[in-house]
Chain A
Amino acid sequence: MTESSERARVVRSWEWARPVRPVRREVLSAIPELEEGHPPLLFVPGFGHGAWAYAEHWLGHTASRGFPAYAVSLRGHGGSGPAPEADLRAYAHDVAQVAAGLPRQAVLVGHGAGALVVAHALARYPARAAVLVAPVLGGWASFGAALRGNPFGTLPAVFGGGLRLSRRQLFSRELPEADARRYAGRLGRAARRAQWQLLTGAEPEAAVGRPPVLVLGSPDDRVVPASALTRAARRYGSAPLLFPGMGHDLMLDARWQEPIDALLDWLVKHPTDRR
């Protein structure tokens, strides 16, 4: 990141005066049997998804490689308490709360719009590192892409309806139809205000503590075009890691193991330990 983006915000009277209300949070975890000294990973699902999306494959695999793995359901999603009025700030609050509650300084991993939530949370919690998986960082360009790819799922969201993603956007054809249907059936929706903030919300503030950031995704993702991946990665001064042939939901698709292994390899290689 450039030095100018380090500009710190000190006075936050509005946030102090109006703290986010707590909502019951679902946190799923998989802990390695032996403590190997690796930092914990906190997985943040995208809109409509819950912690279950990571519990299918990634949590267990992460733990089997020696990293404590946790996944949170944002309020109003999965097993967390209902929150119809939630906004991005409330989601970022949930992430910072869970991260700060972990025993060690955590690596934040966000998928889809969950990557935007992570980007916001990075301004409020000094993560050890961050990974943005097929990030939907908002703005009109991603809206245009979503509209082209799935006009009937996207348009209602403009009027406060739920953002609907089709099975064909989320998964590649390699994933058995039954699995795809089962996953799609579990999808929920994000709160209206949070959806709108994808378009109109403020840019995330600079991350605190200068964490290294990795962007990964698929060039064949029908929600996040390859150009958006490059743009997101450039923002954090790197290039995206690409996994061709996969759908948007890299953690559920047939070849789920490749991206998570690449992510963990990056963590092992990257000097995230600042000593």
Chain B
Amino acid sequence: MNTHQTNFVRTSMLDQSTPPVLEKGYIAWIRKNLLATPLDAVLTIIALLVLAWFLPPAIKWLFIDASWTGGGRGVCATAAQGGSQPEGWSGACWAFVGAKFDVFMFGRYPIDERWRPMLVGALFIALLVPILIPRIPYKGLNAILLFGVLPILSFFILIGGVLGLPYVETPLWGGLMVTLILSFVGIAVSLPLGIVLALGRRSTMPVIRLLCTTFIEIVRGIPLITVLFMASVMLPLFLPQGMTVDKFLRAVIGVSLFASAYMAEVVRGGLQAIPKGQAEGADSLGLSYWQKMRLIILPQALKLVIPGIVNTFIGLFKDTSLVSIIGMFDLLGIVRQNFSDANWASPVTPLSGLVFAGFTFWLFCFGMSRYSGFMERKLDKGHKR
């Protein structure tokens, strides 16, 4: 009998076939990410046109046409401007930045004494790096050294007049050094002061609350430049005759007070987010006000507002550039001052110097914001959904 085999059982697997060309590799990626809809296609074309219009000239100006070495304005000026470059040339003058690099870092700090700011910088990095890496222990001791001992030590190292170090007055300080000192002191003062102000604003004592609120609202309502003017013009008026405050210190005071008002509002946001039960629990355990704040409330509140605190730090760092308006030479101030150096003045010098200063500021601020993002993820205990 010849039965017809009707069923079919596959005994061998088919070879895997490749996905359609349009669904894999860079073609699929381009289709999905650049040309998903007609509108996307148009946007992509516009973006490409903008890039084509902007990027090549920018790269040409910044790198290809830039003059990297040279001892004077000749390398950065066209023949008609009294230099060696061909007519119509325009490029970054990195030679200017290179020649002035030391000045941009230290200002008019005496050349023989520049090891002092470098030493302070090295100490600062040596203390800062371990506090930033979460795994390294002894955070408390580290913080005391960084925020308590280092500022005092640095002050004496930088200003001198003790232990045989020559005295270097603050008007000679300048450049990135001043920017960093101002922002570091501002940060070190504004955080504790901001916490105190925030606690004061939430205090149950009306007089304290009113004082703190008034201070915070006034400072937050006016521009930093007016605060700096107050510090530089009005502070001498407020003090008795003969008592003067160093100009540098005035700027430090102005910047710190300004930042602490903003810090206070950030901290208050954190305090408000802590459930009332936490404070009540602390009260029922018999903790005093300061114990309650130090052990229960603030650790939770501060952790919540780390992004806000770092944003305030970044703002403070950027705001230090304003001291150049009241006649101090921070990084931006010293770069601008050197535009008019007869040895280097040319049409491209200002832009080159500003690009350099901008990149330096950007590097610090971007680093801070990246670190804050890292800490946020690190400290996230998973309470958030």
Do A and B share a complex?
no
